[in-house]
Amino acid sequence: MSIPIQVVLRRGMGPNGPELVQQPFTAAERQQLQARYAVLEAGPAAASFKAALADAQQHHPTEPTPLIVLSRSNGDEMTWQILDNNNQPETGFTVSVHPVSGGPPDPLVNFPQTAKNTNIVRSGQPKATHLNQHYKFRVVASDKVEIDPDWYTGP
């Protein structure tokens, strides 16, 4: 059974000014991601997955599950949300998708997508033609503060 991976971004202050910081995944989300890692590491696209995981580990060295995996066959999806300094959901942020290593563009339908009244952006499932690829999400808040987490499309 698949649970949606929730990417919750909180406002913070970094050495260069305002920043978005990803909230740690829940235990259930981590368990699901680790299960996806095990399948991909043993599968036919293991080299592609391991390269994407190594790249994500460089960007997120303290995160035990630095690479978000969406498995099409398991119906995996993601949601994004930005919380302001008062823990209130923000609107007006945009999520776009960019291939990392020459993969095909546009792995999700109707992206980029902007959070409007719902305060949440939902990914939907990756296209069947875009599996075993490494991507980055670019999340840009209404004030132009941004973050770009890594993710991988699994079968």
DSSP state of 130: G
CB atoms within 10 A of CB 152: 28
User: How much is the average pLDDT of 77-93?
Assistant: 94
Task: Work out the pLDDT band at 3, boundaries 50, 70, 90.
Answer: confident
Question: What local confidence, expressed as pLDDT, does residue 1 receive?
Answer: 61
| Cβ-Cβ contacts under 8 Å for 120 (sequence gap 6 or more) | 79, 80, 81, 89
DSSP state of 78: E
Distance of alpha carbon 101 from alpha carbon 119, whole angstroms:
31
* Sequence letter at residue 141: A
Total of domains in the chain: 1
Tell me the pLDDT tens digit for each residue of 41-64.
999 999 999 999 999 999 888 888
Question: What local confidence, expressed as pLDDT, does residue 28 receive?
Answer: 93
Structural domain range at position 28? 5-154
Residue 126 has pLDDT above 70, yes or no: yes
Distance of alpha carbon 25 from alpha carbon 102, whole angstroms:
28
User: How much is the average pLDDT of 59-78?
Assistant: 88
Question: What local confidence, expressed as pLDDT, does residue 51 receive?
Answer: 92
